Structure 1
Amino acid sequence: MRVPVSWLTEHIDLGALAEQPSADDLAEALIRVGFEVEDVAPLEPVTGPLVVGKVLEIEELTEFKKPIRFCRVDVGDRGSDPAGPQGIVCGATNFAVGDLVVAALPGTTLPGGFGIAARKTYGRVSDGMICALDELGLGDDHSGILVLPPGTADPGTDAAPLLGLSPDAPDAVLDVAVNPDRGYALSIRGLGREVACAYGAPFGDPAAIDQGVPSGEGGAWTVRVEPGSACRRFVARRVTDLDPTAPTPWWMTRRLLLGGVRPISLAVDVTNYVMLELGQPMHAYDAARITGDVVVRRVRADEKLTTLDDVSRALDPDDVAVCDDSGPIGLAGVMGGATTEVTAQTSDVLLEAATWEPASVARTARRHKLPSEAARRFERAVDPAVARPAADRAAALLAHYGDATVTEGVTDVGPYAEGTEEPTARIRMALDLPDRVAGVTYPRGASVRRLVQVGCAVDVDSQDGAAGLVVTPPSWRPDLTRPADLVEEVLRLEGYDAIPSVLPAFAGGTGLTMAQRRRRQVSRSLADAGYQEVLPSPFMAPSVLDAFGLPDDDARRSAVRLANPLDADRSLLATTLLPGLLDAVVRNVSRGLRDLALFHVGQVARPSGTPGPAVEVGVDARPSDAQIAALMDALPPQPVRVGAVLTGAWEAKGWWGEGRPATWADAVEAARTVAAVYGAPLQVSNDQHAPWHPGRCAALHVDGVLFGHAGELHPKVLETLGLPPRTCAVELELDRLPVTEVLARPEVSAYPPVLLDVALVAPTDVPVAAIEAALVEGGGELLEDVRLFDVYTGAQAGEGRRSLAFALRFRAPDRTLTLEEATAARDAAVALAGERCGASLRS
């Protein structure tokens, strides 16, 4: 909310302060009591002869393409020719002969360092400039010059003090961000009270000022509020014999402009002024255009309303409308209707000051995309008690500046009408609760003083031998509902900076669990291997499962659907890590990164069976074991997985060589890297598992338990998702790996190895992994390592067969191994490979 400093301090007695606060001081005061001040915009003063001028004559210069006028302006004795008017060239057309304007004469320096001098332009000599609002720093409007209300000042009067631009009395505008739970602060009344609290200064509530308007018996207009209409209070006052030509006084116009509101007419400007001053949105109806009684009700089927922005809107049955015999004439709490709009001929005005249920106004404003200033306040709750003072204030202003007559009667209906409002709930708070929460011993009486400052009624009471406060919050603070809210008020007014920052003491723990350490080690191992960690979205789109080509009965299709997803396209909890990782690949490739190796360690949701019912747990005590068990039972299983994707070059090309593209074998090697962290032997076998390529997919087992898949993704999947060709991926379930307390470590022997090579000829349909497993088992404890280093297929190997060359490393942990021992172990390994896999030594 934009607030002029001169208006903000109008109801605060700051005279007792040693030094009057500046705009920056007031901003600091608001920040101190918990508000965010987004900007402090001082009004830049004007130096030189800035005067009020009266337009005496306008000559239209028609020889130019755009409208140009040569004006004779009476500036008193301040012009270059004291005996005559000043000649000024102006391009604006929103003023006429007889209007009062603001003229910057030669020698004036306007905001922004813009100097004014006499100069010849458009064939005339212009002795100054007639100023617009933005040129004076009073707003952003440059559509026309500023026209002052008649009688504001005599021609030649110094305009700087009138505009609040004097160097000796500078004004400023504060832009205050108001939280949704503090709707009362969207007004001078609310923010002024907060500033008064910050300085401990007396505050005069503008809503408590007697406006001196009639308050006789009877109603201003017959108004009926139907049940369920979301109307809390409806106050109406009527003013008659209003002068439709009466201008808005300059002081009010200036405050509206600085508050960010465009002046329109006296009746409309008064309602906007009262809204900014008291926080009560108002609406003015042309009473002569209302037919019959006013009824507040829910909208009926097929009803429409043309709002003040000249848009015909189809209303919803959930909307609340203000109606007469003709139908809706206003959208409650949001915007009025065009049929009863106040016009330039309106002399009979019905003023509405109503309060509405916040949720109803919020739904209506969003449904019709009408974020008005009134709706902004009603959404945050408006004080029902201020409706009558606001109506009186508006009526008094119209009577004073528009020569209107205020009728005797006042209409006041609704559940919160005067005399029928429900009693405010009382809150009991322990006297020392603020001290215990803040860890600070506040001075005696601080809680009572601060709560009274914000408008609460406080009584001291004792219960069960403990002293306490019984607090009745004011009508403008519906956010105060429990002791914690009262504690917050005390703490923020006493100053958050007075609360010491002390780290809580805690007992030393046992550190990370073995599973946590292994998980971290997996991330480090993959990073060391050349992968980069990413944090993809934990949500996925249902369409990605179809893109993967998963069968209907695949367990990954059973996913938890989000009731309120952040992204409508990603409405499922991910059952696999691949969608998020592949999204990261697509994003990086689109930005020119072609060679990628990405990984992520995280949880997936794999629901199985019917989950238990959701359990609501309070925050006042620790959940019981039964509640925790019920909560866990309601959650789907969430296994920890690691996934990785590779695309482009695994080894970059350069002067050292051509490089090497990433292949399915690199994905399998990533799985070996993860398995090595757990010290688990990995068995690899071919498999068919979507979304991998059926001929380039490996199933990965540890001790006979399937723990993941790796390989190259299916070409159709890559095409559908827009991925590069030959993209590879691996996904492993870490929860299926054995977690032992003994960390995996290499066994180092001080004795030399014996290196032997064997070339085996085996059928091509026998997996290399099977032959390797047979060699390991047959070689026994002496076989330290097996590595395939050559594959040959050709005529010498035979049809349907291939030659596999393995490097075997033998070593004994306690002695130097003899060649005979190593040879015997090699022969045993070859024999077992021949028995199980049909392999034979190549001759």
Structure 2
Amino acid sequence: MFVSINWIREHITIPDNISVDEIVDKLTKASVEVDGVKTIGDWWDPTLMQVGLVNNILPHPNADRLRLADIQLSNNEIERVVCGAPNLEIGQKIIFAKTGSKVFSPKDNKFFVLETASIRGIESNGMVLSESEMGISDSHEGILVLDKNVKIGTPAKDILSDVILDVHIWPNRPDLMNIVGIAREIDAIFNSVSTLILPDIKFDIHENMDISFPNIIIDTKDLCPRYIGILLKDVSIGESPQWLKDKLLSTGLRPIYNVVDITNYVMMELGQPLHAFDFNSLEGSIIVRNAKKGEILKTLDGIDRKLSPDDLVIADDNAVIALAGVMGGANSQITDATHNVFLEAANFHPNSIRKTSQKFDLRSESSARFERNLPPYLAVIAAQRAAKLIQDICGGTIIHELVDVHGQLDVNPQLVEMDIQYVKKICGMNVSEDEVLQKLELLGFSLHSKANGLLVIEIPLWRTDIHIVDDLIEEFIRIYGYDSVPSIPLSGSIPMHPQQKIVGIRDKIKDMFVNKGFHEIITYSLTTIDKLTAALGESAVSSNMPVSLKNTLSSERSVLRTTLKHSLLETISYNLKNGQQDLWFFEAGRAYATKNDLYEGIYPTSPLAEDEFIVGAISAKVKDRFDMNTNKNIGFFEAKGILESIFNNLELQESYHDANVYGFSNELVDIRIKDVIVGHLGALNASVLHQFDINESVILFEINLGLLSKVLANHQPFVQFSKFPPVVNDIAVVLDVNVLHIDIHNVLIESPLVVSAQLFDIYSGDQLGPNKKSLAYKLTFQSFEKTLTNEEVNIEQSKIIKTLINKFDATIRE
């Protein structure tokens, strides 16, 4: 929202010693965030750019579209200039730039210095300026016409210079989406006594029974708590006075014509949107209702809108005439032929307006205010203010008291009890009742009563965000000044926050992966069904449909992810395209699904089934002893070795088993701990990599932290160790290629004397014969009762070899 400091000064007194920079600083700290500041007129030379009077206009002898204008700047100074503005008229007060003035050229988008010029044979000594040439707005269709009461010779800087603040209004503060609201805040920050002047809302009524007031019917009082109508007769439609156009331009709105400009002006002044209908185009009653299926409304932008019963509309007896709170209809708009105006001021349910405006992509200043839950009382004041201005500016006659139709409204102000001792405790400083009340009264709060040592504070009707005493304390302290609160260190120790076990496990594993050379990435939890399908396959996605967002901000962020795999692959693809190699990535995060009887995730209180995962991906080359890349890709076994090291550090014994997961090649295993599948590891196939535009090999693993944390919760890592020395022997077994390592490993460790069996080599070649492989293990023999002799170890190893031969048809490789 754009805020004019000149407009603010019409409502409050800002102390002379307060600079714009100080206003920006204090306002940002206390109320709204000022995103930008635009200064209008800081480059205007007061001696060269002044108010002039158009004394005379003559035709240009050599050009039909140009005219000669005599501009009076003082009693003794008249300049003749060539002017092509279509709206130039005798008697106008304008801004005249003398030769030597700095002027902005909208055509070239840069400044230039004005010089005496010969235009089609006539000398021109200066220039009559438009708004764009002064940097006020983009309007350059005609010259800027001033109020006739402005004195000639007055520097333009004295009457038109301004400072425009671009402020960000927080969603819970609809009371600040207007000039009066911002003025009240600045007044409370810089003044000890309120100087706020509220707009004049008094108007005259001249009853006239020639025109009957329409019956107002609200069919949906839950969506429209209040609807107010005023009827004005004999309104003159025309151009708005310059002061009104200047006000609208300062807020970023384009002037149209007086009645519409007045409704926009009041909206910016007080925060309540209004709408004006051509009364003569209405038929019968004014009805607030839901649209009927298939109804069509041509809105003011000329587009036919197909309506549904979810859309709240304003209608007469024959047709829909407006999308409630969003945009009016072309069938009832104000035109040059309008004489009688029906003025609407209403209060609509914020969710209804938000859905309709998003559905039709019609976000406007009006809908933005209704979406923030405006107080119903505001409609009355805004209707009165607009009626007053239409009467003064357009010559309209108000022929009827305003008609106020509403359901059950709570018109009594909200009361909140406040204990001054509690205020001191929360603020951390010794403040008095008078100090607190003085700041609150500047914001419109008032002391209702005192009872049992408590202050009962009356909440102003425009503050829909205040409900509890802590809200009041916040109001006091932000106006008092956060910088004024003394900084006192906490006494005593800070209580430790109990950490969820899964968080500690996750952080520990993350550190381990970083130590292994991985880089952690953090990606969005929102994605698309197409990306999930590319990573998981159609079957997996259709059987576990992702949760969709109702009002997504982007088509690329429309559903919650059910996996993290796609994020790793997108990141690898992006880095490869940008010339990066040696990619080691992992991400720790949540995946989401819909809860059901079989699956509720690891967080029972969450409305969704949530699980924690660590997913990693590697696309890199094996290094040689000089740390240079070789031609060999990091493969399955290198990645498996990393995971083995991770689990070993966690003091867990994992095992690997054949698996079948979409998107992987034959090099794929499940990772199990105590028969619980906690993840999988494998090489991705070309089909999946192609969908992510990856031409390099990728090894990917996924670990379910929820399942892993449950295993660790029941895990007793300590194992009694023997005080007797171990005996280490190597054994190489030749087997069929289909025999799994895990099966051999289980046979080896079944021996009561074998405390560990570590695979250290895999070999296959012509020497072994077809479909054969050799697995070499380091066996550690140890007893808890005595020191083993070589004979005892050889006897036990022979038993193991016999079992391998009988069970797997193995041979021992010498």
Contact 1:692 1:714 in 2 (8 A): yes
| Structural mapping, 1:166-181, within 5 Å | 171-181=162-172
Check if 1:467 corresponds to 2:466. no
| Structural mapping, 1:418-429, within 5 Å | 422-429=411-418
Q: How many angstroms does 1:701 deviate by?
A: 4.1
Q: How many angstroms does 1:759 deviate by?
A: 4.9
Distance 1:739 1:298, change over 3 A: closer
Q: What is the SS of the residue equivalent to 1:76?
A: strand
Aligned AA (2:48): P
| TM-score where L is the length of structure 1 | 0.80
Distance 1:780 1:103, change over 3 A: same
C-alpha separation in 2, matches of 1:513 and 1:202: 52
Q: How many angstroms does 1:399 deviate by?
A: 4.3
C-alpha separation in 1, matches of 2:311 and 2:607: 39
Check if 1:147 corresponds to 2:108. no
| Structural mapping, 1:634-653, within 5 Å | 641-651=613-623
Q: Which residue in the other structure is 2:107 paired with?
A: none
Q: Which residue in the other structure is 1:367 paired with?
A: 359
Check if 1:450 corresponds to 2:435. no
| Aligned with 1:71 (options 67, 71, 74) | 67
| Structural mapping, 1:472-621, within 5 Å | 472-500=458-486, 502-503=489-490, 506=493, 519-538=506-525, 557=543, 561=547, 564=550, 577-602=564-589, 610=597
Q: Which residue in the other structure is 2:642 paired with?
A: 670
| Structural mapping, 1:165-314, within 5 Å | 165=161, 171-203=162-194, 206-207=197-198, 209=200, 211=202, 213-214=204-205, 221-228=213-220, 230-244=223-237, 247-314=239-306
Contact 1:107 1:116 in 2 (8 A): yes
Q: What is the SS of the residue equivalent to 1:75?
A: strand
| Aligned with 1:436 (options 415, 419, 425) | 425
Aligned AA (1:248): S
Q: Which residue in the other structure is 2:128 paired with?
A: 130
Check if 1:36 corresponds to 2:33. yes
Quick check: 130-139 or 453-462, which moved more? 453-462
C-alpha separation in 2, matches of 1:274 and 1:703: 72
Deviations 1:549-582 (CA, angstroms, capped at 9, x unpaired): 7797x89955774675967777776665544433
Quick check: 250-259 or 756-765, which moved more? 756-765
Q: What percentage of aligned pairs have identical amino acids?
A: 24
Contact 1:786 1:806 in 2 (8 A): yes
Quick check: 704-713 or 41-50, which moved more? 704-713
| Aligned with 1:104 (options 85, 92, 97) | 97
Distance 1:433 1:665, change over 3 A: same
Q: Which residue in the other structure is 2:810 paired with?
A: 839
Contact 2:621 2:629 in 1 (8 A): no
Check if 1:661 corresponds to 2:658. no
Aligned AA (2:95): V
Q: How many angstroms does 1:34 deviate by?
A: 1.9
C-alpha separation in 1, matches of 2:373 and 2:699: 56
Q: How many angstroms does 1:56 deviate by?
A: 0.5
Q: How many angstroms does 1:362 deviate by?
A: 3.1
Aligned AA (2:12): I
Distance 1:348 1:641, change over 3 A: closer
Q: What is the SS of the residue equivalent to 1:632?
A: coil
Contact 1:691 1:713 in 2 (8 A): no
Distance 1:526 1:745, change over 3 A: farther
Aligned AA (1:35): V
Contact 2:52 2:73 in 1 (8 A): no
Q: How many angstroms does 1:683 deviate by?
A: 3.7
C-alpha separation in 1, matches of 2:636 and 2:783: 35
Q: Which residue in the other structure is 2:739 paired with?
A: 766
Aligned AA (2:477): L
Distance 1:539 1:677, change over 3 A: farther
Deviations 1:358-388 (CA, angstroms, capped at 9, x unpaired): 3333333333332232333333344544545
| Aligned with 2:23 (options 22, 26, 43) | 26
| Aligned with 1:729 (options 700, 718, 726) | 700
Q: Which runs of 5+ in 2 are unaligned?
A: 105-109
Contact 1:538 1:574 in 2 (8 A): yes
Q: How many angstroms does 1:787 deviate by?
A: 5.0
C-alpha separation in 1, matches of 2:559 and 2:255: 51
Q: What is the SS of the residue equivalent to 1:445?
A: helix
Distance 1:785 1:332, change over 3 A: closer
Distance 1:556 1:697, change over 3 A: farther
Aligned AA (2:364): S
Aligned AA (1:141): S
C-alpha separation in 1, matches of 2:458 and 2:485: 26
Contact 1:429 1:469 in 2 (8 A): yes
Contact 1:515 1:739 in 2 (8 A): no
Q: Which residue in the other structure is 1:793 paired with?
A: 765
C-alpha separation in 2, matches of 1:611 and 1:148: 74
Contact 1:643 1:731 in 2 (8 A): yes
Contact 2:219 2:287 in 1 (8 A): no
C-alpha separation in 2, matches of 1:249 and 1:596: 66
C-alpha separation in 2, matches of 1:254 and 1:411: 29
| TM-score where L is the length of structure 2 | 0.82
Q: How many angstroms does 1:320 deviate by?
A: 3.9
Contact 2:564 2:591 in 1 (8 A): yes
Quick check: 129-138 or 363-372, which moved more? 363-372
Contact 2:53 2:91 in 1 (8 A): no
Q: How many angstroms does 1:610 deviate by?
A: 1.3
C-alpha separation in 1, matches of 2:91 and 2:718: 96
Q: How many angstroms does 1:666 deviate by?
A: 2.0
Distance 1:198 1:785, change over 3 A: same
C-alpha separation in 1, matches of 2:416 and 2:77: 73
| Structural mapping, 1:661-740, within 5 Å | 661-685=633-657, 687-691=658-662, 693=664, 695-702=666-673, 706-719=677-690, 722-724=693-695, 726-733=697-704, 734-735=708-709, 737-738=711-712
Quick check: 341-350 or 825-834, which moved more? 825-834
Contact 1:280 1:383 in 2 (8 A): no
Aligned length: 798
Q: How many angstroms does 1:133 deviate by?
A: 0.8
Q: What is the SS of the residue equivalent to 2:357?
A: helix
Check if 1:87 corresponds to 2:81. yes
C-alpha separation in 2, matches of 1:611 and 1:708: 19
Q: Which residue in the other structure is 1:116 paired with?
A: 114
Quick check: 276-285 or 106-115, which moved more? 106-115
Deviations 1:240-292 (CA, angstroms, capped at 9, x unpaired): 445545x5333333222222222233333333333333333333344444444
Distance 1:511 1:719, change over 3 A: same
Q: How many angstroms does 1:690 deviate by?
A: 1.5
Q: What is the SS of the residue equivalent to 1:38?
A: strand
Distance 1:270 1:684, change over 3 A: closer
Q: How many angstroms does 1:86 deviate by?
A: 0.7
Distance 1:453 1:496, change over 3 A: same
Q: Which residue in the other structure is 1:406 paired with?
A: 397
Tell me how large the CA RMSD over aligned residues is. 4.6
Contact 1:285 1:340 in 2 (8 A): yes
Distance 1:644 1:13, change over 3 A: closer
C-alpha separation in 2, matches of 1:239 and 1:641: 66
Q: Which residue in the other structure is 1:621 paired with?
A: none
